[in-house]
């Protein structure tokens, strides 16, 4: 391996290690929300997109129905579609290969690929980060689910308070985008107003309308920032 590639794979391994710890948290919370250890592990292997997985556990543990839990999980997964579109230029193998590599499209692998100067290192960054996160996320999930099922009453341990904390930690780095604070505040306000009126899950779904004020705010400011974009 060439010298310039080594820091790249080292960073990929570090990102993997960090998401492994998220994986442990997900395993604990998912079991606390009532999923079995096998279902929790299957979710990390097959769904493999953290925010959606946390959303399922969050809505189920708050008493929401399965369909109420799936809707926000699907909407959160939609951003991976956008990532996939942005990765088309660097995922250029045969169909079967592209189909396999698609499963690795997540926040971390996309961000690492986008940070590279040329397509070859972008491809390496995508694969190294994606594989490293996949392995660590799934090992972490298994550990967390196994430990979580022997913990006892999740409420007494305060585990329910971990869900909003996890969502806040996932949200915070995204708030620097133009329009993001407006989108976040409107989403939260819409959801809170609907909690007393609508069945669980619906307030979260309706909150997606928060993109409207978010986009309006981003475009209101667009003329001044146009040269950068």
Partner 1 sequence: MTWAALLGLAAAAYAMKAIGPVALGRRQLPPAVLETLGMLSIPLLAALVAVQTFGGANRLVVAARVRAMAVAAVLVWRRAPFPVVLAAAAVTAALLRL
Residue ranges in 30-59 that form contacts with partner 1 under rule CB under 8 A: 34-35, 39, 42-43, 46-49, 51-52, 55-56, 58
159 binds partner 1 (CB under 8 A): yes
Cβ of residue 147: shortest distance to partner 1, in angstroms? Answer: 13
122 binds partner 1 (CB under 8 A): no
Cβ of residue 29: shortest distance to partner 1, in angstroms? Answer: 9
- What is the footprint of partner 1 within residues 84-103 (CB under 8 A)? 84-88, 91, 95, 98-99, 101-103
> Between residues 16 and 210, which has the closer beta carbon with respect to partner 1?
210
165 binds partner 1 (CB under 8 A): yes
Cβ of residue 220: shortest distance to partner 1, in angstroms? Answer: 14
> Between residues 87 and 122, which has the closer beta carbon with respect to partner 1?
87
CA dihedral 92, 3, 105, 14 (to 10 degrees): 170
H or E stretch covering 122: helix 119-148
- CA gap 36, 50 in Å, rounded: 18
Cα–Cα distances (Å) from 121 to 9, 102, 118, 135, in that order, read: 10, 18, 6, 21
Q: Which stretch binds partner 1 (CB under 8 A): 6-14, 114-122, 131-139, 204-212?
A: 204-212
Measure CA of the first residue to CA of the last residue in the chain; give whole Å: 35
Quickly count: other Cβ atoms within 10 Å of residue 164's Cβ: 10
CA dihedral 209, 212, 218, 221 (to 10 degrees): -140
């Amino acid at each position: 391996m060439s010298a310039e590639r080594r820091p790249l794979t080292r960073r990929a391994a570090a990102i993997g290690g960090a998401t492994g710890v998220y994986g442990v948290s997900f395993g604990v919370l998912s079991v606390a929300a009532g999923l079995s250890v096998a279902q929790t592990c299957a979710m990390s292997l097959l769904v493999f997109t953290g925010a959606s997985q946390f959303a399922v556990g969050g809505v189920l543990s708050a008493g929401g129905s399965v369909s109420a839990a799936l809707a926000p999980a699907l909407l959160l997964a939609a951003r991976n579609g956008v990532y996939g579109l942005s990765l088309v230029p660097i995922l250029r193998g045969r169909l079967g290969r592209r189909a396999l590599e698609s499963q690795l499209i997540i926040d971390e692998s996309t961000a690492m690929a986008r940070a590279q100067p040329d397509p070859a290192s972008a491809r390496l960054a995508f694969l190294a980060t994606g594989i490293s996160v996949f392995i660590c996320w799934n090992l972490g999930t298994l550990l967390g689910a196994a430990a979580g099922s022997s913990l006892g009453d999740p409420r007494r341990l305060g585990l329910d308070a971990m869900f909003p904390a996890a969502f806040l930690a996932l949200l915070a780095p995204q708030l620097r985008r133009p329009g993001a604070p407006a989108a976040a505040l409107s989403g939260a306000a819409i959801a809170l107003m609907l909690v007393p009126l609508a069945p669980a899950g619906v307030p979260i779904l309706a909150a997606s309308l928060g993109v409207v004020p978010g986009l309006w705010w981003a475009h209101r400011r667009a003329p001044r920032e146009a040269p950068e974009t």
